[in-house]
Amino acid sequence: MRPKDLASLCSINRRSLLKASLLGAGAMALPSFFSACGDSALPGDPLTVDPSTPWWLQNGFEPVFTEVTALDLPVRGAIPPELDGIYVRNGSNPQNRDSPHWFLGDGMVHAVRLEKGRAKSYRNRYVRTALYQRGVNFSDTIKLGLAPGGPNGTSNVSTFYQGGRLIISGEIGVGFEIDPETLETIGLQTYGSRITNSLTAHPKVDPETGHLHCFGYWFSPPYLTYYELDSQGNVVHEAPIEVEKASMFHSFAITDREAVFWECPVLFDLQSAIENPIDAFSWTPEYGARIGILPFGAPGSAIRWVELPAPCYVFHEVNAFRRGTEIVIDVHRLEEVFGSTDLAAGQDRITRWIVDTAGRDLTFREEIVNYNNWDLPSHDRRFTGRKYRHSWHTVFRDEPVGVNIGGIGYLDLDTGRDELWDPGPSRHSGEPFFVPTGSAEGEGYLLAFVYDRHRASSVLAIFEAMDHAKGPVAEIELPQRVPFGFHGCWVPAG
């Protein structure tokens, strides 16, 4: 079977997800037993849910409550000795089982230490946010009289390592620094009291300067503020950006010289948030969608906008780069999110947005790059903001219940070739994260947690990035299940 044919079998139709569910509920590859098949599950073995329990509290999403430290983990295959560091991944893991939404659980980080071909340790720890310390859910902040944001966030989305610090961030709230070896929470990271409301989920590190580019969105003016920090974590530039309403900016992109924002029609409503946190953000297509380009170091008033021809939403970009007068932004484009019945309606397509900056007014066009229903992308971050070729993505399966994560897809942006690693019907891979070990783009390994629902167990799988479809070269057995989560990073040794 050709890779694209196989990928089509594992795509997801993302209709009827969150709100509908709320209402109703260096070595040789391992043998195919561990890679293509996963386990002895028969094809067509369905993923089922208990209709009386929200899907984000069961199966691979079910939270774990024990904080574990385990040493010298068992390994199948051989861990490449070049991998010397710690893989850390964040996720939503409510300390209380009554969490009203997958996005609103407490942040929990899982980490595996690799050294000299050994899996030295596994740890998982809650991020000690103010809400976690009080034992309350993020959804309770308003009715408890707590202002959401600042220290009152979930810190459950991302991890990033910059300037010798491992920082955890969420959708709303400031960052928290944690110790990469122990995962203990060191404390709030407000960067000299310069970022005190929100450090929103997806900061970017410029691979040439080491500077961190980030932003925070908020519920009162200024609704959006962009920051640039030097390699030591000092804020060297701050730019409030004027937008009309409080909208959900989940991520953004950078090139080698500018920040790229997309404002999409998911708007925040305070009254709805008071009545039901799930309804805090709503799909408002009449607001429209647009892309903004802001040069590094410029004031927010210098941003230039171009309207998109149709409303859409983008949680995650793959990468962006400048090509002459054009800026190229590759994104996972969704037709609708937070609508009346669905989290995401329509198809998720990898789409190339092209913005020409040559004239007085920006111009826009778009191209569909790939038709597979993938998301949670990864690329070689040494090429962030630069022309790149290779990307890896999480595959979503077409199942009539909740979200069903599948395998890992690869896309060659130059040729359009795609390939899939399918872990088997009862195994589910999370986001792949690329760790470089060579000098050329794509020379390195992918790391991903893989959950086996028949065994109720997880492994950390390691793949040769440029030949990932043959399966993992090593699988590290973990002492407990790792729930499906969001984004990770690599902390190099030393």
Domains in the chain, please, with CATH?
3-492 (2.130.10)
Question: Which of 68-82, 100-114, 330-344 bottoms out in mean pLDDT, i.e. has the lowest?
Answer: 330-344
For residues 231-240, give the mean pLDDT: 97
For residues 265-291, give the mean pLDDT: 84
HEC-encoded secondary structure of the chain:
CCHHHHHHHCCCCCCCCHHHHHHHCCCCCCCCCCCCCCCCCCCCCCCCCCCCCCHHHCHHHCCCCCCCEEECCCEEECCCCCCCEEEEEEEECCCCCCCCCHHHCCEEEEEEEEECCEEEEEEEEECCCHHHHHCCCHHHCCCCCCCCECCECCCCCEEEEECCEEEEECCCCCEEEECCCCCCEEEEECCCCCCCCCCCCCCEECCCCCCEEEEEECCCCCCEEEEEECCCCCEEEEEEECCCCCECCCCCEECCCEEEEEECCEEECHHHHHHCHHHCEEECHHHCCEEEEEECCCCHHHCEEEECCCCCEEEEEEEEEEECCEEEEEEEEECEECCCCCCEECCCEEEEEEEECCCCCCEEEEEEEECCCEEEEEECHHHCCCCCCEEEEEEECCCCCCCCEEEEEEEECCCCCEEEECCCCCEEECCCEEEECCCCCCCEEEEEEEEECCCCEEEEEEEEHHHHHHCCCEEEECCCCCCCCCCEEEEECC
Percent of the chain with pLDDT over 70: 87
The answer to whether the beta carbons of residues 332 and 318 sit under 8 Å apart is yes
pLDDT band at 38 (very low <50, low <70, confident <90, very high): very low
Model's pTM, two decimal places? 0.90
| Whether the predicted pLDDT of 492 surpasses 80 | yes
**Residue written as token pair 């037709």:** 335
| Whether the predicted pLDDT of 20 surpasses 60 | no
Amino acid letter, 162: Q
pLDDT of 348 reads: 81
89/278: higher pLDDT = 89
Question: Structure tokens of 276?
Answer: 């039901």
| Whether the predicted pLDDT of 430 surpasses 50 | yes
CA count, 13 A, side-chain hemisphere, 288? 9
HEC-encoded secondary structure of 253-321:
EECCCEEEEEECCEEECHHHHHHCHHHCEEECHHHCCEEEEEECCCCHHHCEEEECCCCCEEEEEEEEE
> Nearest 5°: phi and psi at 99?
-60, 130
| Whether the predicted pLDDT of 30 surpasses 70 | no
Question: Structure tokens of 309?
Answer: 């021809």
pLDDT of 139 reads: 75
> What rounded mean pLDDT belongs to the chain?
88
Can you give the C-alpha Rg of the chain in angstroms? 21
Percent of the chain with pLDDT over 90: 73
Q: Which of 39, 44, 144 is nearest to 397 (CA)?
A: 44
The whole-angstrom separation of Cα 158 and Cα 132 is 17
For residues 213-229, give the mean pLDDT: 95
| Whether the predicted pLDDT of 39 surpasses 50 | no
The answer to whether the beta carbons of residues 375 and 332 sit under 8 Å apart is yes
The whole-angstrom separation of Cα 366 and Cα 375 is 18
Question: Structure tokens of 234?
Answer: 């000092």
Question: Structure tokens of 339?
Answer: 């609508």
pLDDT of 16 reads: 33
pLDDT of 98 reads: 78
**Residue written as token pair 């086996």:** 452
The answer to whether the beta carbons of residues 236 and 249 sit under 8 Å apart is no
The answer to whether the beta carbons of residues 346 and 388 sit under 8 Å apart is no
pLDDT of 76 reads: 98
pLDDT band at 102 (very low <50, low <70, confident <90, very high): confident
**Distance spanning both ends of the chain, measured CA to CA:** 44
| Whether the predicted pLDDT of 103 surpasses 90 | no
For residues 412-437, give the mean pLDDT: 96
The whole-angstrom separation of Cα 196 and Cα 146 is 15
| Whether the predicted pLDDT of 408 surpasses 70 | yes
* Omega before residue 222 within 30° of 0, cis: yes
Question: Structure tokens of 69?
Answer: 């430290």
The whole-angstrom separation of Cα 217 and Cα 248 is 7
The answer to whether the beta carbons of residues 378 and 445 sit under 8 Å apart is no
pLDDT band at 101 (very low <50, low <70, confident <90, very high): confident
| Whether the predicted pLDDT of 15 surpasses 60 | no
pLDDT band at 227 (very low <50, low <70, confident <90, very high): very high
| Whether the predicted pLDDT of 44 surpasses 90 | no
The whole-angstrom separation of Cα 24 and Cα 464 is 41
Q: Which residues of 435-455 are buried (b: 16+ CB within 10 A; e: fewer)?
A: bbeeeebbbbbbbbbbbbbee
CA–chain centroid gap for 88, Å, is: 13
The whole-angstrom separation of Cα 178 and Cα 189 is 10
The answer to whether the beta carbons of residues 198 and 222 sit under 8 Å apart is no
| pLDDT, tens digit, 9 for 90 and up, residues 373-405 | 899 999 999 999 999 999 999 998 876 556 778
Dihedral of CA 52/55/56/57: which sign? Answer: positive
| Whether the predicted pLDDT of 341 surpasses 80 | no
| pLDDT, tens digit, 9 for 90 and up, residues 149-183 | 888 888 999 999 999 999 999 998 999 999 999 99
